[in-house]
């Protein structure tokens, strides 16, 4: 995908999405029970994996962005070899899939979508929000990105290019948003507090500093 658009923060869930989710849940349950029965893994293995995933949150992604904002050399490494640079901060992104960090500028806004399902850098952002998985977002963001971003409250000038990138099973994307104005005196930890999950997906901008 080369064009992108976004979607409102809490879009309505179509009835077909609810039905599809139910179907997927039934299939997942049947497959899980079969694999446990065959001894491929145990119920405990699943519980441990789910608990580990639930402990992940967007703080890892926020930490990466804040460090890139204050360290130009790190930012260059992050854009050149994203996984290696992220691992410098002690964050394990796992052996696969590939991960690419895309930088937003004053004239370019990246937005991430998975048009097939909900591929997403969970080690950096935690569990994907429901709107990211919805058919409405997946379908609309690639054809009317500016309208979708507007629903999230993100108004972009006409001369800002919006580029939609399609996350896949083999490739994940993380957006490096532009640093907000008025943040020169903030610490790295304070900068990280301005970075939201949605800004790391590209549908919003980071929060403005208090009083900004």
Asked if 118 is an active-site residue, the reply is yes
Long-range CB pairs of 36-40, under 8 A, 24+ apart, other chains included: none
Question: Among residues 82, 114, 134, 167, which one is catalytic?
Answer: 114
- CA dist 129 and 38 (Å) reads 33
Question: Among residues 119, 134, 167, 199, which one is catalytic?
Answer: 119
Distance, C-alpha 30 to centroid of its chain:
29
Asked if 210 is an active-site residue, the reply is no
Asked if 114 is an active-site residue, the reply is yes
Asked if 82 is an active-site residue, the reply is no
The CA-based angle 174-175-176, given to 5 degrees, is 120
Query: Tokens 């490096």, residue?
Result: 176
For 40-52, b/e burial (b = at least 16 CB within 10 A) is eeeeeeeeeeeee
- CA dist 106 and 152 (Å) reads 18
The CA-based angle 114-178-171, given to 5 degrees, is 25
Active site residues: 114, 117-119
């Amino acid at each position: 995908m080369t064009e992108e658009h976004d979607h409102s923060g809490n879009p309505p869930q179509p009835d077909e999405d609810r039905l599809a989710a139910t179907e997927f849940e039934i299939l997942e349950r049947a497959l899980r029970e079969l694999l446990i029965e065959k001894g491929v893994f145990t119920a405990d293995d699943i519980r441990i994996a789910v608990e580990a995933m639930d402990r992940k949150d967007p703080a890892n992604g926020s930490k990466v962005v804040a460090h890139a904002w204050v360290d130009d050399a790190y930012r260059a490494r992050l854009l050149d070899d994203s996984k290696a640079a992220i691992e410098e901060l002690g964050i394990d992104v796992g052996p696969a899939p590939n991960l690419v960090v895309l930088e937003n500028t004053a004239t370019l806004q990246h937005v991430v979508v998975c048009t097939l399902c909900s591929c997403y850098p969970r080690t950096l952002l935690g569990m994907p929000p429901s709107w990211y998985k919805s058919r409405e977002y997946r379908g609309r963001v690639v054809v009317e990105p500016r309208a979708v971003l507007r629903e999230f409250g993100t108004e972009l000038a006409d001369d800002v290019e919006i580029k939609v990138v399609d996350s896949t099973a083999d490739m994940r994307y993380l957006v490096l948003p532009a640093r907000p104005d008025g943040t020169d005196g903030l610490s790295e930890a304070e900068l990280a507090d301005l970075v939201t999950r949605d800004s790391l997906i590209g549908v919003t901008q980071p929060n403005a500093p208090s009083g900004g």
